[in-house]
């Protein structure tokens, strides 16, 4: 089959393409550009916030929205865009998203105000939601053979991990040498190879009988994801506030309505599918009835949960307690992120000898081992133990994420690969947010409960500084800078002790969660056979 043909559920690509030609691997290379772009964009802009605040006179609330607008819209539209790709063509959606992302990046880079920048970030979330499900579902159709698909998924995951590693370094360098808009403008040259070469090398694929798009389902999906994501981020930022729980509650209620509608649409669509004029469900909820699919989603969510939760307290330790710059702390994490890439590639041949379920369970066990090192180790004398633990954890995340993504794609029908990829990507976003929110909240609460500032601080500190120190480690470090040397050292030591205590508790809880996930994966996924 030529690479310009359309892969549908009615054809059998595995039978007609016994071996993927070189054009397919070039197509995979092109698909890495949007993957790299989204991964870099997730992390790089954080390093431009001080420059943005100075240039646009942005308030603290506006700075939060500059960061949050992108993931809120992205998470809210992932499932809708995955389903849309199944209908109009995944390649077409990818090109529309890529071109839109480039244009929105250029427009946002020259934003004259904070409001403009927030709107531009929301636009980037819209087009970003078109990219990730499209790339993963196209891989499912370009590489129908399980072994080659598994390698392609490993390369896809490696591209995302590589982008995450590159983001902090690239963001810091661009801000230091150019202006804050360069962090956004860099998207244009990254996406150009895909737009120029993709039409000739990337095959189109779609659901052959998709049915009509259900607009209410798209609106409902937004009403599910946006409140849930907003509530989770509010928990991470402000703690257990009533509005955060109310927001999550609204999202869950809308989730119930959404699922009911999808089931009703599925019943009507199954009887009228032959005509091609029925309204199809946006999400095939029957996919979750497949235990392998559901367990792989859980494994994927928890792998990202463990990674982002770890990065949260490691970044604070490196920057606030070790005095490293953001870019230096990013460089310190690069070896561990490279380990994620290496592990993802190494497990591809491993699943020919070991059942995939045990590989996923082993990856989750390594993640648990990383947290074990932190929970029961002494990391009060430097970052070496934390960085070593991150290395172990990243090896596990790379293994678990690669194989779980492959299991998700393999368990879904080819004509639903866009929806399956969107669910996988939504799991990625939710896992990342939950890791930050849940583990971050536990760490903050433990720090606040264990901090014991030395006597005499309140008399010498400016108004409000002591209360800020009691809230966050950053506040304590800032307070220490306002005090005489002996007292400053005592404040720093007290803050370190409280923070380290919080890290121990947080790591112990994460250890229990990851151990449970390991057992679940080993039991449920044990029936998946070895790769041939």
Distance CA 5, CA 275 (A): 24
Looking at 266, 281, 296, which one is the last position of a domain? Answer: 281
Residue closest to 211 by CA, chosen among 123, 278, 297? 278
Q: Which tokens belong to 68? A: 């949050």
Residues 90 and 70 both lie in one domain = yes
Q: What is residue 8's predicted lDDT score, i.e. its pLDDT? A: 38
The whole-number pLDDT of residue 257 equals: 92
**Residue 148, pLDDT score:** 82
Establish if 443 belongs to a structural domain: no
Residue 293 located in a structural domain: no
Classify residue 516: in a domain, yes or no. Answer: no
* Residue at 76 is within a domain: yes
pLDDT at 382: 77
366: in domain? no
Q: Domain for residue 450, yes or no? A: no
Q: CA–CA separation, 277 vs 178, rounded Å?
A: 53
**Co-location of 60 and 110 in the same domain:** yes
Nearest to 528, CA basis, from 268, 244, 296, 301: 296
What's the rounded Cα separation, in Å, for the pair 431 and 303? Answer: 8
- The residues near 504 (Cβ < 8 Å, ≥ 6 apart) are 374, 375, 376
Same domain, 98 and 191: yes
Write the CATH number for 123.
1.20.1250.20
CA atoms within 13 A on the CB side of 497: 12
Same domain, 113 and 237: no
Neighbour-count burial for 237-247, b at 16+ CB within 10 Å, e otherwise: beeeeeebeeb
Q: How far apart are CA 341 and CA 361, in angstroms?
A: 18
Each residue's pLDDT tens digit in the chain (532 positions)?
A: 333 333 333 334 443 444 447 788 888 889 888 888 877 776 677 667 777 877 888 776 677 778 778 877 887 788 788 778 877 888 899 999 999 999 999 999 998 898 999 999 999 989 988 887 788 788 878 887 777 888 888 888 777 777 777 777 777 778 778 888 888 888 888 888 889 988 888 888 776 666 677 788 888 888 887 888 788 777 766 777 888 899 989 989 998 998 888 888 877 655 555 555 566 677 777 778 888 888 988 888 888 888 878 887 888 888 788 888 767 777 888 888 888 888 888 888 888 888 988 999 999 999 999 999 999 988 777 788 999 999 999 999 889 988 888 888 777 776 666 667 777 777 777 787 778 778 887 888 888 888 888 877 777 777 777 877 777 788 888 888 877 878 888 888 888 888 888 889 999 999 999 999 999 999 998 888 877 7
Is the same domain home to 99 and 204?
yes
Domain that holds residue 191: 20-150+167-212
Judge if 115 and 193 occupy the same domain.
yes
Q: Using CA atoms, how far apart are residues 204 and 424, in angstroms rounded to an integer?
A: 21
User: What confidence score (pLDDT) does residue 373 get?
Assistant: 94
- Domain boundary (253, 281, 309) is at 281
Whether residues 205 and 233 fall in one domain: no
**pLDDT at residue 290, as a whole number:** 83
Indicate whether 204 and 267 sit together in one domain: no
pLDDT of 369 reads 95
The reply to whether 370 falls in a domain is no
Q: Which of 455, 458, 462 is nearest to 494 (CA)?
A: 455
Residues 41 and 146 in one domain: yes
pLDDT at 110: 92
Number of Cα atoms under 13 Å in the Cβ half of residue 321: 22
- 186 with 277, same domain? no
Are residues 115 and 218 located together in one domain of the fold? no
Number of domains in the chain: 2
Domain co-membership, 38 together with 87: yes
Q: At which of 281, 297, 331 does a domain end?
A: 281
Q: What is the torsion angle, in degrees rounded to the nearest 10, for the CA atoms of residue 229, residue 230, residue 235 and residue 240?
A: -120
pLDDT reported for residue 61: 66
**pLDDT value of residue 284:** 74
462 within some domain: no
């Amino acid at each position: 089959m030529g690479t310009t043909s359309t892969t549908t559920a009615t054809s059998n690509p595995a039978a007609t393409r016994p071996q993927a030609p070189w054009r397919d691997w070039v197509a995979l290379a092109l698909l890495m550009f949007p993957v790299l772009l989204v991964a870099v964009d997730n992390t790089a802009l954080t390093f431009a916030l001080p420059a943005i605040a100075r240039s646009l006179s942005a308030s603290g609330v506006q700075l939060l929205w500059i960061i949050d607008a992108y993931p809120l819209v992205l998470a809210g539209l992932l499932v809708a865009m995955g389903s849309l790709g199944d209908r109009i063509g995944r390649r077409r959606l990818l090109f529309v998203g890529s071109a839109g992302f480039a244009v929105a990046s250029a427009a946002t880079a020259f934003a004259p105000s904070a409001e403009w920048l927030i709107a531009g970030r929301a636009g980037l979330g819209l087009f970003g939601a078109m990219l990730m499900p499209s790339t993963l579902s196209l891989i499912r159709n370009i590489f129908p053979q399980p072994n080659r698909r598994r390698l392609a998924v490993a390369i896809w995951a490696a591209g995302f991990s590589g982008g995450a590693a590159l983001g902090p370094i690239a963001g810091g360098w661009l801000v230091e040498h150019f202006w804050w808009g360069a962090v956004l403008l860099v998207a244009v040259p990254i996406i150009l190879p895909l737009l120029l070469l993709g039409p000739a090398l990337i095959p189109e694929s779609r659901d052959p009988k998709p049915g009509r798009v259900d607009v209410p389902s798209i609106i409902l999906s937004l009403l599910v994801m946006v409140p849930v994501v907003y509530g989770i981020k509010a928990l991470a930022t402000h703690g257990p506030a009533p509005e955060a729980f109310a927001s999550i509650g609204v999202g869950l209620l809308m989730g119930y309505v959404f699922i009911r509608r999808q089931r009703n649409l599925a019943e009507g669509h199954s009887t009228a599918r032959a005509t091609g004029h029925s309204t199809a469900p946006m999400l095939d909820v029957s996919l979750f009835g497949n235990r392998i699919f559901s367990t792989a989603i859980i494994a994927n969510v928890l792998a990202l949960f463990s990674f982002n939760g770890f990065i949260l307290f490691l970044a604070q330790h490196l920057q606030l307690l070790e005095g490293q710059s953001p870019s230096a702390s990013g460089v310190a994490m690069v070896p561990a992120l490279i380990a994620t890439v290496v592990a993802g590639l190494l497990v591809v041949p491993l699943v020919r000898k070991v059942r995939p379920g045990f590989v996923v369970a082993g990856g989750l066990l390594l993640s648990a081992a990383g947290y074990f090192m932190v929970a029961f180790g002494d990391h009060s004398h430097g970052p070496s133990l934390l960085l070593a633990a991150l290395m172990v954890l990243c090896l596990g995340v790379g293994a678990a994420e690669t194989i779980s993504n492959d299991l998700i794609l393999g368990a879904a029908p080819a004509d639903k690969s866009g929806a399956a990829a969107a669910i996988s990507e939504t799991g990625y976003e939710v896992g990342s947010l939950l890791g930050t929110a849940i583990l971050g909240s536990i760490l903050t609460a433990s720090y606040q409960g264990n901090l014991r500032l030395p006597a005499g601080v309140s008399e010498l500190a400016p108004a409000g500084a002591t209360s800020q120190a009691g809230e966050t480690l950053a506040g304590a470090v800032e307070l220490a800078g306002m005090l005489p040397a002996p007292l400053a050292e005592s404040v720093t030591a007290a803050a370190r002790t409280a923070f380290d205590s919080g890290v121990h508790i947080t790591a112990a809880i994460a250890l229990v969660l990851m151990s449970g996930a390991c057992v679940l994966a080993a039991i449920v996924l044990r029936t998946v056979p070895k790769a041939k």
